[in-house]
Structure 1
Amino acid sequence: MSSNKGPGFFSAIGSKARDVLTKDYNADHKLTISSSSNTGVDLSSTLLKSRGLSSGNVAALFKYKDKTEVHVKVDTESSVLTTFTISDILPSAKAIASIRVPDYNSGKLELQYLHDHVAFTTAFGFNRSPTIDFSATIGTPGIAFGAETSFSTAIGKLTKYNAGVCLKMPTSNASVILADKGDSMKVMYLHQLEKLNGGAVVGEISRRFSTNENTLTVGCSYVVDTQTVVKAKLNNHGNLGAVLQHELTDKSFLTISGAFETKALENSPKFGFSLLLKP
């Protein structure tokens, strides 16, 4: 199932601009060591310190004929998450099933369908009162309209409904997302610039109608060289963030992030660190 055709899934609306403004901005400390084999088995081990709490996990990914994947993750809380992915279970369709042991009510099944002019996903849990998620998108790779909703069978009501539109051009894209049951709206624009060596500038305006709160965020990414990318963002509330990512060796990355409150300099800045090693 190719992700390059059709309008894409609803979650992809505004994703490029969102990545520039949110991806890798965190105050966690993370170390991941992973390895791959020619037999289709990938192994990884992760240590994480977040908000003063430490955790870890060991994961294995098994691939079979490029169509079937089994992902098993064991964490320090003695839970085991197993995910089965089958691509092309039907033409242009994918099935994803997951369960976390010992919480047997966590079982979930998701179906994805991606075609030339339509894409949709549906997911539901394996319990007595599951929540049913559904999203659909229509259009082309250049323009797409979509919506998503969640229905709780426990209370018999819709608990989420969002809608969005995305316009993509060769060097830019714009999107509008109406979320939180119509209470909030985000307008995002991304433009790639040759002066940034393939980087981009992004602007986002978000508004929450119930509180009349507006937030303007601007950001950019700059490709220093083939191994180094720098990102920064600033909003009208004075929150400044920056990310430096450097490829140490092939597929091994060092990521450092920082966050500052320019209107409250007495507050301590926050720093994050991530190291991914793949021998």
Structure 2
Amino acid sequence: MINEIPFADITLLKAEKCDLLRLAYAHQFGHSRKISAVAEVTRRLSKNKNSLAVGVSCILDHLTTVKATLNNQGKLRALLLHRSKPISCLNVSGEFDTRALDKIPRIGLALALKL
């Protein structure tokens, strides 16, 4: 049995004339690398503001992927991506504000067809 080393990636990005710094860490789990976890810290120097987001992605099969993200502002986002053919894609997404439970969640649907 071969010991498999988990795949991890760290990225540091400078953007908008070095006003925006973004540090992201991605880690893939499992033998087939179907589950990934991500953490991202963003710093805007001009406004002296930081943000944090954590997320997870799971490949259910070769056509379907599910993703979820939660940020420090309390926004929970989810995405279901399904490819019916290599050229067609259906996206179902939703966003829920965990700090404002009385608000209606946002739901989106997108269908991309290539003929």
When normalised by structure 2's length, the TM-score is 0.81
SS at match of 1:225: coil
> Do residues 199 (structure 1) and 6 (structure 2) align?
no
Residue by residue over 1:61-113, the C-alpha shift from the partner in whole angstroms, topping out at 9 and shown as x without a partner, is xxxxxxxxxxxxxxxxxxxxxxxxxxxxxxxxxxxxxxxxxxxxxxxxxxxxx
**Aligned equivalents of 2:102, 2:91: Cα separation in 1:** 26
For structure 1, list consecutive stretches of 5 or more residues without a partner in the other structure. Answer: 1-169
Residue by residue over 1:191-249, the C-alpha shift from the partner in whole angstroms, topping out at 9 and shown as x without a partner, is 11127852311110011223321111001110111221000100111011000011223
Match of 1:219 in 2: 55
> Do residues 263 (structure 1) and 105 (structure 2) align?
no
SS at match of 1:258: strand
| Structure 2 contact 40–53 (Cα < 8 Å) conserved | yes
Larger radius of gyration: 1
RMSD: 2.1
Letter in 2 for 1:249: K
Match of 1:239 in 2: 75
**Aligned equivalents of 1:188, 1:250: Cα separation in 2:** 29
Letter in 2 for 1:242: A
| Structure 1 contact 258–269 (Cα < 8 Å) conserved | yes
**Aligned equivalents of 2:102, 2:52: Cα separation in 1:** 23
Cα gap change, 1:258 to 1:234, in 2 (>3 Å): same
Structural mapping, 1:151-190, within 5 Å = 171-190=7-26
Residue by residue over 1:85-144, the C-alpha shift from the partner in whole angstroms, topping out at 9 and shown as x without a partner, is xxxxxxxxxxxxxxxxxxxxxxxxxxxxxxxxxxxxxxxxxxxxxxxxxxxxxxxxxxxx
| Structure 1 contact 186–206 (Cα < 8 Å) conserved | yes
- Return the structure number with greater relative CO, CA threshold 8 A, min gap 6: 1
Letter in 1 for 2:81: Q
Identity %: 40
**Aligned equivalents of 2:64, 2:114: Cα separation in 1:** 17
**Aligned equivalents of 1:278, 1:235: Cα separation in 2:** 34
| Structure 1 contact 196–223 (Cα < 8 Å) conserved | no
Structural mapping, 1:21-36, within 5 Å = none
Cα gap change, 1:195 to 1:234, in 2 (>3 Å): farther
**Aligned equivalents of 2:55, 2:75: Cα separation in 1:** 12
For these two proteins, the number of residue pairs brought into alignment is: 110
| Structure 1 contact 241–259 (Cα < 8 Å) conserved | yes
Give the structure with the higher percent helix.
1
Structural mapping, 1:113-132, within 5 Å = none
